[in-house]
Amino acid sequence: MSKRRVVVTGLGLITPVGIGVKESWANIINGQSGIGKITKFDCSTFPSQIAGQVKNFDPLAYIPPKDARRMDTFIQFGIAAGIEAFKDSGIEVNDNNSERIGVSVGSGIGGINLIESTSDVFDEGGIRKVSPFFIPGTIINMISGNLSIMLNLKGPNVNCHCMYNRHSFNW
């Protein structure tokens, strides 16, 4: 195993208590809860009707409209948090370092909103009604892939769709 280290140089948050590190941290310090009644879908038959939902998120602040329409919300959140973290890092990408800067993303699950709505589309209209953007709109590697392209990062691009993620990287 390599003894080389990876350094976290910037932070980015998209959370139920705020958009961005500054807003999220201020709300946490002030004791503001991000938990409330679920409003994103009908949960009237569920035993629990509360959750932490991200509010006031505008994907167009981070992603062009055409691209945002093709992405599940979790991809939009991941890209926005990644952009925030990169800006916070202060790193300047150039020809000398772009191949040494990579993106690593881990997620327990993602794309569930688009998976559910596509299931409904399939049930109602069959396979021909399913968007060709269904798979790219729901897979986790679209976060790191888009960030790499947007930020000109040519280093390792790693994704893990698992509940527990432990990697050793030799960058």
Q: Between 3 and 132, whose confidence is greater?
A: 132
DSSP-derived 3-state class of residue 83: helix
Planar angle of CA 29, 31, 34, nearest 5 degrees: 110
Residue-range domain boundaries for the chain: 11-56, 58-165
Q: Is the pLDDT at 1 greater than 70, yes or no? A: no
pLDDT of residue 170: 42
Comparing 25-29, 155-159, 166-170, the range with the smallest average pLDDT is 166-170
What integer is the mean pLDDT of 95-99? 94
Q: Is the pLDDT at 18 greater than 90, yes or no? A: yes
pLDDT of residue 97: 94
* Tokens (6 digits) for 145: 């892939």
pLDDT of residue 162: 57
CATH 3.40.50.150 fits 58-165, yes or no: no
Pairing of strands 103-107, 50-52: unpaired
- Separation between Cα atoms, residue 6 and residue 17, nearest integer Å: 28
Q: How far is CA 140 from the centre of its chain?
A: 8
